[in-house]
A and B are shown apart, each in its own frame.
Chain A
Amino acid sequence: MWLWFHKLGSPKYFWTISARLIPWIGGLSAVLIAVSLYLGLFVAPPDYQQGESYRIMFIHVPSAWNSMFIYVVMAVSAAIGLIWKMKVADSVASASAVIGASFTFLTLVTGSLWGKPMWGTWWVWDARLTSELILLFLYLGFIALQASIEDRQKASRASAVLAIVGVINVPIIYYSVIWWNTLHQPPSLTTGASMIDKSMLLPLLLMAVAFKLFYLTVLLIRTRCEVLERERNSSWVQELARAAEQNLAPTLTGSRAE
């Protein structure tokens, strides 16, 4: 196991193994998304209180789970990259940031689309909504720091420090926001789905798994790009480039960029 983990840390090994994994994981996540969409949109009965509009939950809840899960993955892999100088871990961290920010944004958008018919307003300063918004800011800070340092390795290490500080702060921010909210307004809005029916729970859980797999697929693809860019001076990448060039040579005569 550890040996495999160490091998995975080598960019070249990662490049070959991820190419084999992507079709399988991607295919599985596509199938799962299709199945759980069908179950969620057609099979599950309408809610007795919320009617049809609760169905946005099948997107909203899994992406909310993902948004927090990815932040932890990002911080852990950034820490691994910082401590053990594992190159692929750095790439995983920076590839995760954009995906995590997208899921956070998706959560906010679907949440406010659901909130308009249910609560009668696009936005409430509810504890969960607010902490999700702050999570988005934390992601954006991470991305901005990474983008503004030119040297990729240095950028990774600096943003790793930020991610670790952020991960310590996330629970503090979360609980302070909860307390802030209960101080100002009584908990009038509880998303009371304590008794959830099996026909609704199953697509929800399936979708959660599917979203995790989708994240993994996109993560692998983005990490591959990162790895290529970071390793552009190493011999195996240049060999790859030369091989690709020879394959393309007959079709692209003359008008090749650079």
Chain B
Amino acid sequence: MSDAGLPKVFLVILKRDLTLALRRRAQIMNPLIFFVIVITLFPLGVGPEPNILQTLAPGVIWVAALLAAMLSLESIFHSDFEDGTLEQLLMTQHPLSVTILAKVTAHWLLAGLPLLILAPLLAVLLHLPGDAIQVLVITLALGTPILSLIGAIGVALTVGLRRGGVLLSLLVLPLYIPVLIFGAGAIDSASGGLPVSAHLSILGALLALSLSLSPLAAAAALRISVE
């Protein structure tokens, strides 16, 4: 174990988290059902006219994705914190940021990736044109990992607190704003027939930035929360 390389550490933790989550399938399903229900509420609230729904669709889908990601964030560290596994992970000699990156990847595979599959169906229900649906999937593919990465910092800060859930949304949602703007903006441009590459480039840049920095920040936060 002592001379295990970092890729191995990453894979071991990823596999462990995925296995644990797959044993409790309801926890994976709940945020997805939430996502579907929230999007269904909008046509009921604003009326069924296709034009209005089409205008609202990018924003509605992205906001619902933000909220669904928020709901599942706590699972990144919470159960590990409660049964003491997190402290063991903190004490290993491996860099904590790699551990966190593995856990975030697991979270994205379980909470972000399913959104990519569900979103096109819901987009059809909201009368989004075909080109825009393609762009929607691309923006979600670039954007949802950012949500998990930034969210990990928030969860790491609030993991030891009793009523961390509401606080978590207060901390994390303002930081999600750029992702929302460029994600929904790209789909908007696409359904208006405008080029989208600038939006996608910026989302990619945000992903690169958060991929490189947020595991470090989350590691620092986790060391402060768990001591």
Q: Which residues of A does B touch, CB under 8 Å?
A: 134, 137-138, 140-141, 144-145, 148-149, 154, 157-158, 161-162, 164-166, 168-169, 172-173, 176-177, 179-180, 183
What separation, in Å, do the CA atoms of A137 and B189 have in the docked complex?
28
B65: A residues at CB distance < 8 A: none
Quick one: given A145-B167, A148-B163, A168-B213, are A161 and B221 in contact (CB under 8 Å)?
A: yes
Q: Which residues of B does A touch, CB under 8 Å?
A: 153, 157-158, 161, 163-164, 167, 170-171, 173-175, 177-178, 181-182, 185, 188-189, 202, 206, 213-214, 217, 220-221, 224-225, 227
Cβ-defined contact, A176 with B181, below 8 A: yes
Shortest distance from the beta carbon of A241 to any chain B beta carbon, whole Å:
30
Cβ-defined contact, A173 with B178, below 8 A: yes
Cβ-defined contact, A154 with B224, below 8 A: yes
Q: Which residue on chain B has the smallest CB distance to residue A166?
A: B175
A177: B residues at CB distance < 8 A: 177, 181
A-B contact pairs, 21 of them (CB 8 A): A137-B173, A140-B170, A141-B174, A144-B167, A144-B171, A145-B157, A148-B164, A154-B224, A154-B225, A161-B221, A162-B153, A162-B157, A162-B221, A165-B175, A168-B213, A176-B178, A177-B177, A180-B181, A180-B185, A183-B188, A183-B189
A183: B residues at CB distance < 8 A: 185, 188-189
Shortest distance from the beta carbon of B102 to any chain A beta carbon, whole Å:
21
Quick one: given A148-B163, A148-B167, A149-B161, are A165 and B153 in contact (CB under 8 Å)?
A: yes
Shortest distance from the beta carbon of A155 to any chain B beta carbon, whole Å:
10
Q: Which residue on chain A has the smallest CB distance to residue B173?
A: A137
Q: Which residue on chain B has the smallest CB distance to residue A139?
A: B174
What separation, in Å, do the CA atoms of A52 and B80 have in the docked complex?
62
What separation, in Å, do the CA atoms of A148 and B164 have in the docked complex?
9
Cβ-defined contact, B185 with A158, below 8 A: no
